Amino acid sequence: MAQQIDTTIMTVGKAKIDNPAIGPYVTDSPVPFYLDVEHAGEDAKGLDAPLFLEQAGPRSHVYYDPGKTKAAVVTCGGLCPGLNDVIRAIVLESYYGYGVRSILGIRYGLEGFIPKYHHDVMELTPRNVSEIHSFGGTILGSSRGPQSSEEIVDALERMNVNMLYIIGGDGTMKAASAIQEEIARRRLHIAVVGIPKTIDNDINFVPKSFGFDTAVDVATNALRCAHTEAIGAPYGVGLVKLMGRESGFIAASSTLSLNVVNFVLVPEAPFKLEGEGGLLPALEKRLLERSHAVIVAAEGAGQDLLTASGKTDASGNLVLGDIGSFLQKAIKNYFAAKDMNVTVKYIDPSYIVRSMPANTNDRVYCGQLGRNAVHAAMAGKTNMVVARMQDRFVHLPLQLVTRRRRKIDITSNYWRSVIATTGQKLA
Amino acid sequence: MAQQIDTTIMTVGKAKIDNPAIGPYVTDSPVPFYLDVEHAGEDAKGLDAPLFLEQAGPRSHVYYDPGKTKAAVVTCGGLCPGLNDVIRAIVLESYYGYGVRSILGIRYGLEGFIPKYHHDVMELTPRNVSEIHSFGGTILGSSRGPQSSEEIVDALERMNVNMLYIIGGDGTMKAASAIQEEIARRRLHIAVVGIPKTIDNDINFVPKSFGFDTAVDVATNALRCAHTEAIGAPYGVGLVKLMGRESGFIAASSTLSLNVVNFVLVPEAPFKLEGEGGLLPALEKRLLERSHAVIVAAEGAGQDLLTASGKTDASGNLVLGDIGSFLQKAIKNYFAAKDMNVTVKYIDPSYIVRSMPANTNDRVYCGQLGRNAVHAAMAGKTNMVVARMQDRFVHLPLQLVTRRRRKIDITSNYWRSVIATTGQKLA
Amino acid sequence: MAQQIDTTIMTVGKAKIDNPAIGPYVTDSPVPFYLDVEHAGEDAKGLDAPLFLEQAGPRSHVYYDPGKTKAAVVTCGGLCPGLNDVIRAIVLESYYGYGVRSILGIRYGLEGFIPKYHHDVMELTPRNVSEIHSFGGTILGSSRGPQSSEEIVDALERMNVNMLYIIGGDGTMKAASAIQEEIARRRLHIAVVGIPKTIDNDINFVPKSFGFDTAVDVATNALRCAHTEAIGAPYGVGLVKLMGRESGFIAASSTLSLNVVNFVLVPEAPFKLEGEGGLLPALEKRLLERSHAVIVAAEGAGQDLLTASGKTDASGNLVLGDIGSFLQKAIKNYFAAKDMNVTVKYIDPSYIVRSMPANTNDRVYCGQLGRNAVHAAMAGKTNMVVARMQDRFVHLPLQLVTRRRRKIDITSNYWRSVIATTGQKLA
Amino acid sequence: MAQQIDTTIMTVGKAKIDNPAIGPYVTDSPVPFYLDVEHAGEDAKGLDAPLFLEQAGPRSHVYYDPGKTKAAVVTCGGLCPGLNDVIRAIVLESYYGYGVRSILGIRYGLEGFIPKYHHDVMELTPRNVSEIHSFGGTILGSSRGPQSSEEIVDALERMNVNMLYIIGGDGTMKAASAIQEEIARRRLHIAVVGIPKTIDNDINFVPKSFGFDTAVDVATNALRCAHTEAIGAPYGVGLVKLMGRESGFIAASSTLSLNVVNFVLVPEAPFKLEGEGGLLPALEKRLLERSHAVIVAAEGAGQDLLTASGKTDASGNLVLGDIGSFLQKAIKNYFAAKDMNVTVKYIDPSYIVRSMPANTNDRVYCGQLGRNAVHAAMAGKTNMVVARMQDRFVHLPLQLVTRRRRKIDITSNYWRSVIATTGQKLA
């Protein structure tokens, strides 16, 4: 039921100062919309009544006095195309749109706030961000893992920061929440505005996260190479592992884009290796019929087939088993036993995918996210993120964003198209 | 008021045959949604109540018996990235999804139906479309202008075609309507399904038409070149003309993507050349301050400044005055009179923009449009188009699509961002 | 006869200082080689005996004391891919290789030396050139046309410049010669080292000038678009004008690269429009047989068919007639008279071609040119250019480079391949 | 001494038939040239006198009667950009240039000749090769390893093949030699013409093999990603393994192209891990100074540091130890012991590099190689390859090509530039 979801946006205080940025201005009046049944999957359950969300954009009045405002920007977690574009848009809109003259870049994620790491801050100016969108990654650097909210807010106080732009994934958004709570506890007037980042495209309520298009673009190229390798050898198999810890969107969309994949494996659709409906017999059938095949696996696919390590990384994510190497071995063993001389070419393009500069589409998108984040912060909004839903930019409370992960709805027409494209019949 | 808009989809007849294509299936149950106030602009007026539209996708039952079905595909009007992807998706889904074995490609647009032009039809098979998405344009060829509905339906009858996929712009969708009426008049059971194409992104109710992303991509490259040329000469001006007869979306979005444009001129925002708030004095100011400038003009911008030719092309579109050459001359004359040695480099990349292959994002999109068109036609839907709105694929009646053009809403946050990016102050 | 060609390199003075740059070092010992009969065309006449040229590279001793050296870099004439790469390599090698701390960038070509233009100089440091190779054009700007050698040498004296790196075309190399003579007249110890630039690839003795590969790359894309447009319309003709004032190498090599061109027109091979062996009847034949055609014309092709303007541009080059528009009209008129409904799509990608960043191959090449220019200047070489011939980098006297233009040898296997690829039979 | 090298080209018989292909024709008259001291490295030793080699190109007379000629094409060994371009050029020149109507594609390398593998042959026509250059890999497929010369010549006889085009590396050229000997033993009139392929660029006497430029292009992109990853984390290290079993040209040239590499490791320059001049202390120094680093290693680098497996692959090549994983571990252990929290991102782009389509430059080159191979075969040349040396296409005897491998000359200016670019000081 929609009414269960509280979409109220918190503010640092009442916006009373005339906005120095040009209009037209938007109001806080909510935009109603229905959730996309197909793409939102699980999230859509119980949500057929409209949600009412604040529109993003510049308001007629701002809370902060631009000339006295100090902003900080931090990027956290793994690389994703578009990070530099978001940073750049925040800096340019703050500087040229509002007249904010002091913008700090925090180095290497949340580590940058903590004295013991000795990371200097970086002054961000229009001049030193002007060309950064030509490069992948983040000029600020990043790191994984949480840091003490107290120490972070200590640092914000010491530096006299009025607003924090925090760009990162699920864990980072939870950290942003904790920071905002600490700020509230101390009764400080510091806005915390998030820009959700996930190359896996698994943010709740956000159908397409920034960088996803670029990631699919680059992943598609790896699929093309896998296909080329597969047809280049007798019984050639091209195997590609793509990002996607819990959601296989990159694997699925790149499969749709190229039409060369015969088997696509995602976390949302478990599969077995052997027996009726198993991957290996299906692969054998395909090879006997067409003599080459392409398999793409999201990194989180088939984890039940692997021995769990039980370990977690610095971000608190479970360390996944390596489905790529596992499949490579399984395929070799299976066909060796059948005396079929199968060649497997295994491609893991993950670092290449995530470190590319944003494509044009993502560049426009990131620019809009960054500018809307500035509009929100200047107006005194806090504890929220900017997001695009149904072609509109809106404000979402942090709690809503971290409620659960987006996953592929395997009963959707989207996933059906993927399956139809591959022709795969796995049980 | 939403109730004024009839969104009922017509059908050729009742779908009684079990669908041979794999599920899951969707039902005809309507998807409710609100129009995007920001992007839909004028169209959104009076539409704050939800619209109810049929979802796209495969139905549990089809009207046509696949083994006895003959389909025809035709592409009309100017080139647009993604045409081949749509053709390919129609062929592959028809063949592999439904078992349709006879698919005709009509050559050179509607001319291909008319005997006097002597254009042969082209048999479309999975084999001969398998790689066409690697190439721009349309393997079928295209042409402009209407042809007699009677002659077209004569041809459909002669060829025993059961369903016509018609890909084209505004004029083509009107032709599709006329064809459907002639079919209805003759009481034939031929489905007419449209896939709206417009590189200008000006289709009513469709926030992003296929090929638009790719067009912005390529246009952005031309802007980068214009910027490079501008900084390469003292008082260098890079001038780019982009597509956009009545809607300046390509100019606006490519401006957002690169942040090098100082003046963006679109049909929706009239401007004057001289005097207070005029383009030329503003350009002079910019050159004196920074010594280089980039101007981008949609082809339909500033038509009031040009002498109207009064002519129309084969598609019935008014032949526009050439704003690019006009501005080039105006700039030269203005600065010659001031004895400023200004260099203007004029780039018109139109044919390069429209003839590129679709990028990855458009490729996925076109695949979904093509497949959903087949699902619709097989289910006996007619007089409609498939479209993506708010991340969902739906069926729209032809009348709705041709009701009016989408334009940039110059009071929107989108256009505000464009203006803020350029810093332009024209009156 | 080879002995007629003096390949002696002039020096500013004897190199006595130990080279601070790392070795291994090369000696002044000449590299013998034969000219390439195929590619050098006319230039090869009378040159079957070997030439003996100095190798490029660092010497064991330098003339200039790095800590007291001031260098200047200037880029002249039209844009060409790779200019920024050359600038960057000069700066990095000077700074890191030799320890030169003062490097001046002269703005806007030779204008930058002349007080009346008021162009400031630009300090070049590793930091401000580190990423310029990502961008096309030249960060220094450029201009056409000669300036007074006296005033230029005055400026060099005023700025205490010890060495001038001058990057430009034929006219610029002649200017470099004049500057060197003025320097010699004043008995100054300033080295003048050229890096020849010509997107037309028409420098005497240099089989492939920097940027040419990139230009062919981009030009090829325009040909692909022209082909797409041609097949997209009944009797479709794609017409592309490419750079090539007196030498048609870009047109010829891009034709070889894509195999879609039916007629390639270059300055070296005159053609007629009508009658036996004329372009228009041959085009008609092609259209009747295959219904589409692609024509590529170098800008200097067919000048005898056009009315000469008699004008020259700032660089002293004759202003060419516009062969592209001329052909477009000629084709329209020819087929209008025959009542054939031919569509001509005319693409002029010149500014896009010349303003692109260098591709990988050119980037490596430009880096080597820039570094070798520094090695030469530091060793006190003057009045010369660095060039790659037969996979080796050598020093060439300025006089040799400006002796005459390279042109396509129309009796070569290279041109034969071009003709064979197109199948054209023009008289 | 040059006279020691026999450059005589063998022929199948005297060419008596007028060449149906268009001229101008070349003669067998030899082209004299000196070897490039810098790039040819070891090969240049004792070769300062000119070599005299036959020019490539069409002759006035051919040996084979085109209408009665049957050609076969085979691709062997690992994938390399440009294979499809070479195949395509052979087919188009044979068909259109000479009128040869029967061209067989042998599937999956030399396996395709051997009955027990059951690989069908593929008829090659202009139609089915017309677009293959848009795709990487080889449409024929490939395989590693030798096959019996007797069986191969049996197959050639059975299929009435007159000429065999064999595209492959060192091992393949030795196989071509053996096939030619078997042909000679049986007194058959079958020409064997090789086109040397090596992505490592290690063919004796060939300064740049086809596909190398493209490989450097793609490898450079991986370096850019490694750099982005390195700057994205505190003490970030980007580690890239590139092709190069015995010659590190790809690693060296891509290092030159991007200027982000700090350590380049190639087989020609041994290095040690620890101690004075060791890689690890040097890396530590770099990280302490700049906090990020990029290392690129050719796959054959540092093999003396690894435990030899002693195994060989199907091509007879020694199975190399995995220097990439070895270095990754060594770096981790080294810094773990020092309590420095270093992050290593390891990228192995090999399959992506080798399966890309040829870039424009390679496309032109491959076209010339393919066409010249046809000219040679039609003229009855055998036991030779076509090659480009010093911008000229020539015929080389097979023996010359397989004499030894090209390696980087570590005393050359080329390698010096690489070292200067990285600033590395390893002992």
Beta strands C236-242 and C292-298: pairing type? parallel
The residues in C 86-145 lying below 8 A from A, measured between CB atoms, are: 131, 134-135
Please enumerate in sequence order all residues whose Cβ is within 8 A of that of B419, keeping only pairs 6 or more positions apart, or say none. A22, B264
Does the CB of D313 have a partner CB in chain A at under 8 Å?
A: no
Q: Which residue has the higher pLDDT, D234 or A309?
A: D234
CATH top-level class for A2-209+358-401?
Answer: alpha beta
d(CA B359, CA B133): 10
The phi-psi region of residue D268 (left if phi > 0; otherwise alpha if psi is between -120 and 50; otherwise beta) is alpha
Q: Among A61-70, B361-370, C203-212, D192-201, which stretch is predicted with the lowest mean pLDDT?
A: C203-212
Beta strands C102-105 and C70-75: pairing type? parallel
Please enumerate in sequence order all residues whose Cβ is within 8 A of that of D158, keeping only pairs 6 or more positions apart, or say none. none
Sign of CA dihedral B182, B185, B188, B190: positive
> The tokens 């993604």 sit on which residue?
B82
**pLDDT tens figures, D346-382:** 999 999 999 999 999 999 999 999 999 999 999 999 9
**pLDDT tens figures, D66-91:** 999 999 999 999 999 999 999 999 99
Does the CB of C228 have a partner CB in chain B at under 8 Å?
A: yes
d(CA A111, CA A147): 7
> Could you tell me the CA-to-CA distances from C216 to C209, C235, C245, C358 in Å, in that order?
12, 27, 15, 11
Nearest to A136 among D136, D143, D228 (CB): D228
Chain D residue nearest residue B134, CA to CA: D134
Please enumerate in sequence order all residues whose Cβ is within 8 A of that of A187, keeping only pairs 6 or more positions apart, or say none. none
Residue A410 contacts residue A268 (beta carbons within 8 Å): yes
Distance, C-alpha B220 to centroid of its chain = 18
DSSP H helices, B93-246, are 126-129, 149-158, 170-185, 212-231
Please enumerate in sequence order all residues whose Cβ is within 8 A of that of C128, keeping only pairs 6 or more positions apart, or say none. none
Q: How many CA atoms lie within 13 A of B349 on its CB side?
A: 33
Whole-model pTM over 0.90: yes
> Smallest CA–CA separation between D127 and chain B, in Å?
12
Does the CB of C44 have a partner CB in chain D at under 8 Å?
A: no
Residue C30 contacts residue C7 (beta carbons within 8 Å): yes
pLDDT reported for residue B13:
95
Give me chain A's average pLDDT, please.
93
CATH topology for B214-355 is Rossmann fold (3.40.50)
**pLDDT tens figures, D127-149:** 999 999 999 999 999 999 899 99
Q: Do D222 and A108 touch (CB under 8 A)?
A: no
Q: How many CA atoms lie within 13 A of D363 on its CB side?
A: 22
Interval A202-207 mean pLDDT? 85
Residue A130 contacts residue A95 (beta carbons within 8 Å): no
pLDDT reported for residue D317:
76
Residues of D in contact with B131 (CB under 8 A): 131, 134-135
Interface predicted TM-score of the whole assembly (ipTM), two decimals: 0.93
Residue B136 contacts residue C228 (beta carbons within 8 Å): yes
The CATH number corresponding to A213-355 among 1.10.3720.10, 3.40.50.460, 3.40.50.2000, 3.40.630.40 equals 3.40.50.460
Does the CB of C21 have a partner CB in chain D at under 8 Å?
A: yes
Residue B6 has a CB neighbour count (10 Å cut-off) of 9
pLDDT reported for residue D342:
97
The DSSP H or E segment spanning B32 is strand B30-33
d(CA B127, CA B95): 11
Residue C404 has a CB neighbour count (10 Å cut-off) of 14
Structure token digits, residue C199 = 């997107």
Tens-level pLDDT at each residue, chain B (427 residues): 334 678 899 999 999 999 999 999 999 888 877 765 544 455 555 555 678 899 999 999 999 999 999 999 999 999 999 999 999 999 999 999 999 999 999 999 999 999 999 999 999 999 999 999 999 999 999 999 899 999 999 999 999 999 999 999 999 999 999 999 999 999 999 999 999 999 999 988 888 999 999 999 999 999 999 999 999 999 999 999 999 999 999 999 999 999 899 999 999 999 999 999 999 999 999 999 999 999 999 999 999 999 766 777 777 777 889 999 999 999 999 999 999 999 999 999 999 999 999 999 999 999 999 999 999 999 999 999 999 988 889 999 998 888 888 899 999 999 999 999 999 989 8
Chain B neighbors (3+ CB pairs < 8 Å): A, C, D
> Could you tell me the CA-to-CA distances from C136 to B237, B256, C140, C263, D46 in Å, in that order?
16, 20, 12, 30, 44
Confidence of residue D42 (pLDDT cuts 50, 70, 90): low
**pLDDT tens figures, A5-52:** 788 999 999 999 999 999 999 999 888 777 655 444 555 555 556 788
Residue B93 has a CB neighbour count (10 Å cut-off) of 24
| Ranges in chain C, pLDDT < 70 | 1-4, 35-49, 308-309
* Residue to substitute from A127, A130, A134, A356, interface C, most C β-carbons within 10 A: A134
Does the CB of A325 have a partner CB in chain D at under 8 Å?
A: no
Answer yes or no: D362 catalytic: no
DSSP H helices, D186-211, are none
**pLDDT tens figures, B314-372:** 777 778 899 999 999 999 999 999 999 999 999 999 999 999 999 999 999 999 999 99
What are the domain boundaries of chain C? 2-209+358-401, 214-355
Sign of CA dihedral B185, B188, B191, B195: negative
d(CA A81, CA A85): 9
d(CA C39, CA D105): 33
Q: Which of A43, A170, A200, A362 is catalytic?
A: A200
DSSP H helices, A145-262, are 149-158, 170-185, 212-231, 249-258
Interval D302-311 mean pLDDT? 83
Q: Do C137 and B231 touch (CB under 8 A)?
A: yes
Residue D354 contacts residue D214 (beta carbons within 8 Å): no
pLDDT reported for residue A3:
44
Q: Which of B43, B200, B362, B409 is catalytic?
A: B200
Q: Is the pLDDT of residue D62 over 90?
A: yes
Chain B residue nearest residue D133, CA to CA: B134
Interval D313-318 mean pLDDT? 75
d(CA A177, CA A188): 15
Q: Is the pLDDT of residue D4 over 70?
A: no
How buried is residue B185: exposed, middle or buried, by Cβ count under 10 Å (0-12/13-18/19+)? exposed
The phi-psi region of residue D18 (left if phi > 0; otherwise alpha if psi is between -120 and 50; otherwise beta) is beta
Q: Which long-range contacts (C-beta less than 8 Å, at least 24 apart) are formed by A386-389?
A: A386/A56, A386/A193, A386/A194, A386/A195, A387/A196, A387/A203, A387/A205, A387/A206, A388/A206, A388/A207, A388/A208, A389/A33, A389/A53, A389/A205, A389/A206, A389/A207
C347 forms beta bridges with C240
pLDDT reported for residue A2:
39
> The tokens 């090449």 sit on which residue?
C365
d(CA C401, CA C209): 12
pLDDT reported for residue D35:
65
Q: What is the CA radius of gyration of chain A?
A: 23
Q: Do D355 and A232 touch (CB under 8 A)?
A: yes
> Smallest CA–CA separation between D326 and chain A, in Å?
18
